[in-house]
Structure 1
Amino acid sequence: MVTDRRLDEVGKRLRGPLDALPTGSPEHSAALAEYRDVLTGLRNRPGGFWIAGPDPRAAEHALTGTVPLESLASVTLLSDGATRLVDRFQLADWRQILAVLDFFGPDELIRRVREAEAGDPDGRRWPRGKARDDATVLHWVLP
């Protein structure tokens, strides 16, 4: 598995004040705006993190890896909003996520993410910038 944790590492250094506040509160909104301003200064820069959307040259800094094709059963790509069950909420591990995808598909994974988000709308259990995040899942089962 290849996972880019650079944004997570930057975020951990900066999120303390933000995570202490209820999601959606005026104080949280102000802290979130400040946090985003700092992140903007670290985007697509050495020592920060890389996002290809605003600058395709960021792809030059992508983390890559190779594995033998015959060793794969599937290929899965998840946005950070779709990985919340594992990396933010810690309600599942990666094997469980793959089992959900294999047996029920992406819709079920996103449904579970939405259910967890709805169960903590103020971000008290799981501090986060947004009560709900966009979630994208591509799961390709290989023949």
Structure 2
Amino acid sequence: MRVALTSLPAEPGQENEDFAAVAPGAAVLLDGASVAGAETGCVHGVAWFSSTLGGLLLGGITAHPAQSLTDCLADAIRDVRSFHEGTCDLTYRASPTSTVVAVRAGGGALDYLVLGDSTLLLADRDGKTTAVTDQRLDEVGERLREPVDQLPTGSAEHAAALAEYRDALTGLRNQPGGFWIAGPEPRAAEHALTGTVPLDSLTSVTLLSDGVTRLVDSFDLADWVRVLGVLSSSGPDELIRQVREAEAGDPDGRRWPRGKAHDDATVLHWVLS
């Protein structure tokens, strides 16, 4: 495996709630989430949740190659729940959650799973790129966040509107008509996007958190072909540098309305040939 991995917190010295890791023939990326400013009901925190779930998931998908990624994720969620249900209130509305991207190569195929708004980018030998992203969170968010986007990022008014938005969003988490994300309930894994592609049709597999994909889907400063070009020529560090440069040019979110000026940013780029 030839893998390049970079992960940076939203701000220097701040805890990074993203998690990414690789094993022979497999990789995972998780983006932990909570309701900003709200109690989570968990004494461990979001970073603990995403890293613990990610480590268990990676171990499961490598140790049990015949088990589906969906079942592996459900098992990992169940195991994490058992670790802290005795100390934490897992019925709390703002309990820690995480997006999940997982891939596993075997038998000439690549299996993948995507849950939440992180992205899997597949590049094939014909020069085509395919981005697999769970759009349900964005679709729900668009219905709720207009008051937030009209205010400058970082202002007191923006913070208040954002808190209301996130509270409303939490009420739709893991609900029909809402969106699905890894949290306390293993059944969320059943709602992940999954698929299989021939391994020999691919040149690279890239896992990205939404702190990086905002360069494409929020800022409209690049497309997926350009993203792959940057990764091939300069690696994940340069891609994240370009994200940070764009953010620095719009610190109050006037040009690109967003929940926070900077976000944790993680790229795992796996070159297959």
Deviations 1:7-52, CA, capped at 9 Å, x for gaps: 1111111111100000011110000000000111111222111222
**Equivalence map 1:9-88=2 (5 Å):** 9-53=139-183, 55-88=185-218
Q: In proportion to residue count, which structure has more helix?
A: 1
Where relative contact order (Cα < 8 A, 6+ residues apart) is larger, the structure is: 1
Q: Highest Rg: 1 or 2?
A: 2
Deviations 1:111-135, CA, capped at 9 Å, x for gaps: 1111111110000000000010111
Q: Which residue of 2 aligns with 1:125?
A: 255
Deviations 1:60-88, CA, capped at 9 Å, x for gaps: 21111222111110001111111010001
Q: 1:53 to 1:77 in 2, by over 3 A?
A: farther
Q: Which 10-residue stretch deviates more, 28-37 or 5-14?
A: 5-14
Q: Which 10-residue stretch deviates more, 123-132 or 62-71?
A: 62-71
Structure 1 residue runs of 4 or more that deviate by more than 6 Å after TM superposition? none
Q: Which residue of 2 aligns with 1:94?
A: 224
Q: Which runs of 5+ in 2 are unaligned?
A: 1-129
TM-score (norm 1): 0.94
Q: Please, which of 237, 250, 262 is the counterpart of residue 107 of structure 1?
A: 237
Using the aligned pairs only, state the percent identity. Answer: 82
TM-score (norm 2): 0.51
3-state SS of the aligned residue for 1:82?
Answer: helix
